[in-house]
Amino acid sequence: MPYALVLPATLYLLVFQGYPLLCELMLSFTSTSLLSPADGQWVGLQNYADLWRDPDFHRVIFTTLLYTAACVASAIGLGLGSALLLDAPFRGRGIARALVTIPWAAPPVAVALIFIWIYNAQYGVFGHTLRFFGIEAGQENWLDSMQHAMPAVLITTIWQIFPFASVVLLAALQGVPSELREAAVMDGADRLSVFKAVVWPTIRPSVALLALFSTIWSLRRFDLIWLLTQGGPVGSTNTLVIDLYRRAFVNHHLGQAAAVGMMGVVIALAVTLVYFRYTARAEKQGAR
């Protein structure tokens, strides 16, 4: 019976994820053009060797890791801060909890279009505000600047994704036993000590799982980056998925694009392995 219940999900994963992934792996060993996909030639590891020797691809990896790390750290940090605020009792808390989810519910296309207007140097709110405070960076369009394009993309991304982290962590905070908090307060613990000794051990598994999902989603995020900068200017926001799209559908090199995709799969698997090793070690420590 257990195998019968698991069978539908297993078949779904094999057909709609396992088989396409296997096809992508095989495609990465070929020299295939989008204009004639049936005429691909086997080249073995040549695509991977070309990527390894390409300094531009090294920059793509660095940009992807930088973008992912900044998104995950900022989203979890802001999400935890807002969750702690929303967990405290105050008038209008229900309305505040509903309002904080608006950025996450907004379509990425609409978010990108709004922030393109916000970052515009001539009539955008962002540049006008910076100029009002005498900041020279307000004189230029951030999305066209090699120095400011990545911060602009990060601000937009974090603004949209941190509400999800806030909701998840707020749910985790709801699971912290109030008796433990009250006991710690009665023992003379301050708020920081209560958080370290009571709250954090309870919500830590949720934070770890949230970090895993946020990392994988950041590695594969395409829509916001493409709509804001298309990987530019001069590759300053060119991540793995943007590079994959450009190689496949602009330069028509399907084999190289598949190799880039497999590199992304390897990074995602490495992150997942680190997560499972971390959770296994935490469970062992908890059992002791």
pLDDT of residue 286: 62
Question: Does the pLDDT value for residue 139 go beyond 80?
Answer: no
Dump pLDDT digits (tens) for 101-138. 999 999 999 999 999 999 988 888 888 888 888 877 76
Please give the domain boundaries of the chain with CATH numbers for all domains: 42-282 (1.10.3720.10)
Number of helices followed by number of strands (H, E) in the chain: 15, 2
What's the pLDDT tens digit per position in 53-108?
999 999 999 999 999 999 999 999 999 999 999 988 888 888 998 899 999 999 99
pLDDT, averaged across the chain: 90
Q: What confidence score (pLDDT) does residue 287 get? A: 54
pLDDT greater at residue 198 or residue 243: 243
Over residues 188-217, the mean pLDDT reads 88
Residues 182-205, mean pLDDT to the nearest whole number: 84
What confidence tens digit (pLDDT) does each residue in 16-67 have? 999 999 999 999 999 999 988 888 899 999 999 999 999 999 999 999 999 9
Tokens matching residue 122? 């001539």
Instruction: Measure the CA angle with vertex 221, ends 218 and 226; round to 5°.
Output: 135
Residues 253-274 pLDDT 10s: 999 999 999 999 999 999 999 9
Phi, psi of 221 (to 5 degrees): -70, 130
Torsion angle in degrees (nearest 10) through CA of 159, 161, 164, 165: -90
